[in-house]
Amino acid sequence: MRQIRTPVVLLSAGIALVFASFGLEKFFHPLIWIGWIPRWMGGFLGIPAHIWLQVLGVLEIAIAVMLVTQLRNIQRIASLAAGAYIAGVLTQTGWNDIAARDIAILTSALALFFLLREE
C-alpha cells in the first residue's frame, strides 16, 4: 500500500494543477478560451457561450480541489470526472497537437483511478 502512495500523490497533484490552471484561466482570460467552446454550446439551454465558459471553469476547479483531498472516494470520483471531461473535450476538438496532451491527461486520470482502487 505504501508503494502506491507516491504515484497517487504525483498523479493527483499533476492533474489537479492542470485542471486548476485551466479553470482559473477561463476567468482571467476568457477571450482566449471562448474560442474553444463548441458552437453548439452557445445558446444551448438558452445559456450563452460566455456563461458556459464560466460553468466549465468552475467544474475544472472543482475537479482540481477534489483531486487533492485526502478522501480516497472523492479522489476516485474526481479522477473519473477528469477522464470523462477530457474525453468530452477530445470529441469536440479532434486530432491536433493539443489532443496529444489531452490523451496524456486522460490516461493519467484513468491510471489514478485504478491506483486508488488498489490502495
Long-range contacts of 54-57 (CB under 8 A, 24+ apart): 54/26, 54/27, 54/30, 56/23, 56/26, 57/22, 57/23, 57/24, 57/25, 57/26, 57/27
Q: How do residues 65-91 score in pLDDT, each as one tens digit? A: 999 998 999 999 999 999 999 999 999
pLDDT greater than 90 at residue 15: yes
Q: What is the pLDDT of residue 16?
A: 98
The pTM of the full predicted model, rounded to 2 decimals, is 0.90
Check pLDDT > 90 for residue 105: yes
Per residue in 18-68, pLDDT (tens digit) is 999 999 999 999 999 998 888 888 888 988 999 999 999 999 999 999 999
For 89-104, what is the mean pLDDT? 90
pLDDT for residue 119: 67
> Residue 2's pLDDT is what?
56
Opening angle at CA 51, ends 43 and 12, nearest 5: 120
Confidence at residue 3, expressed as pLDDT on a 0 to 100 scale: 64
Domain boundaries, the chain: 2-118
